[in-house]
Amino acid sequence: MSALDLGMAPPRRTDAARRVARRGLLFALPAILLLVAIYIVPMLVLAGFSVTDYQLGALNWDFVGLKNFRDAFADPVFLRALWNTVLYAVIVIPAGVFLALGVALLVHGRKRSRAFWETAYFLPVTATLVAMATVWQFLLHPSLGPVNAAIRWLGFEPVSFLGNPALLIPTMAVIGIWQVLGFNMVLFLAGLTAIPKDLHEAARLDGARHPLDRFLTVTWPMLGPTTMFVTVTTSISAFKVFETVAVLTKGRSGSEVLLYALYLEGFEYSNTGYAAALTLIFLAIVLVLSLGQSVQMDRKVHY
């Protein structure tokens, strides 16, 4: 029976407890201030710029309310960049997740050569994407690149992967899949290593003789948390595509994406207010996508 049930006042916090609480707050204060300085203050400044017509270097600006947001959704360049980013993500997310899972399953079954394949697939993650984009530019060159040399050897006409607007986003999506494959594979390998071998043996004794049956009944459910994390991180990476566009296409028609459009407005055209509004739209899209995926997949995850 509590003190409230007996009609007595609850015990007050002692001076020692208050001192411990104050000390704890003091210890946490540097981290709190750092969090406010790095995340909260820039977001407030960004929100403030988004409702003005401020241009970089200007001494005066006016409050315009939601005009920048209305202009964004009436701007054909922004809408095209939004569509291209969604198309890029639709290609990269499922392919980047399931191909990485397939590669992880193959590498996990290796004994002697596992370290070699892990290193080979993880190398793109350690490489500078700007430098590797230049390598891809050579590989896909219509006359000098080895990819088109193989296409000609097969008897087909060369393909201008970086010159045909209809192929720009699919081509960059292939590069994006290549970029995330190694990192996702390592995450899936960690998840596969954590699965107890006894579960596979129990499933085999229960009648799951075929490896596919054991994968569907044991491996796939046990990889639920890993799959959720990989899907969310791949989605964020897909929507943050920038370097390949900046190096390979310079954002020409057919390859516009959200981050590059934001970069042009903010740093090339100096439309800081409009760029701030685009940034908030971008952050809202990524936040809604990440939370939606987490909530939806968390219902199906077995921890």
DSSP H helical ranges for 36-75 = 41-50, 67-74
Q: What does the alpha-carbon distance between residue 82 and residue 121 come to, in Å, rounded to a whole number? A: 30
Q: How confident is the model at residue 14 (pLDDT cuts 50, 70, 90)?
A: confident
Is residue 238 predicted with pLDDT exceeding 80? yes
The string of pLDDT tens digits covering residues 55-64 is 887 778 889 8
> What pTM, to 2 d.p., does this model score?
0.84
Supply 238's token pair: 């897909």
Q: What does the alpha-carbon distance between residue 34 and residue 122 come to, in Å, rounded to a whole number? A: 33
Domain range list for the chain:
74-298
Contacts of 270 (CB under 8 A, 6+ apart): 55, 56, 57
Per the CB < 8 A criterion, the answer to whether 276 and 50 are in contact is yes
The string of pLDDT tens digits covering residues 198-232 is 877 777 777 777 777 778 787 888 888 888 889 98
Average pLDDT score over the chain: 85
Q: What does the alpha-carbon distance between residue 147 and residue 149 come to, in Å, rounded to a whole number? A: 5
Closest CA to 53 of 245, 273, 222: 273
CA angle at residue 110 from 106 to 113, to 5 degrees? 115
Is residue 301 predicted with pLDDT exceeding 70? no
* Lookup result for tokens 């190398």: 123
The string of pLDDT tens digits covering residues 32-47 is 999 999 989 989 999 9
Q: What does the alpha-carbon distance between residue 270 and residue 274 come to, in Å, rounded to a whole number? A: 9
Report, at the CATH architecture level, how domain 74-298 is classified: Orthogonal Bundle (1.10)
- Residue 167 exposure: Cα atoms within 13 Å on the Cβ side: 9
The string of pLDDT tens digits covering residues 70-123 is 999 999 989 999 999 999 999 999 999 999 999 998 888 787 888 888 888 888
Q: How confident is the model at residue 5 (pLDDT cuts 50, 70, 90)?
A: low
Determine phi and psi for 209, rounding to 5 degrees: -75, -40
Is residue 10 predicted with pLDDT exceeding 70? no
The whole-number average pLDDT for the span 270-298 is 85
Question: Which pLDDT score is estimated for 255?
Answer: 84
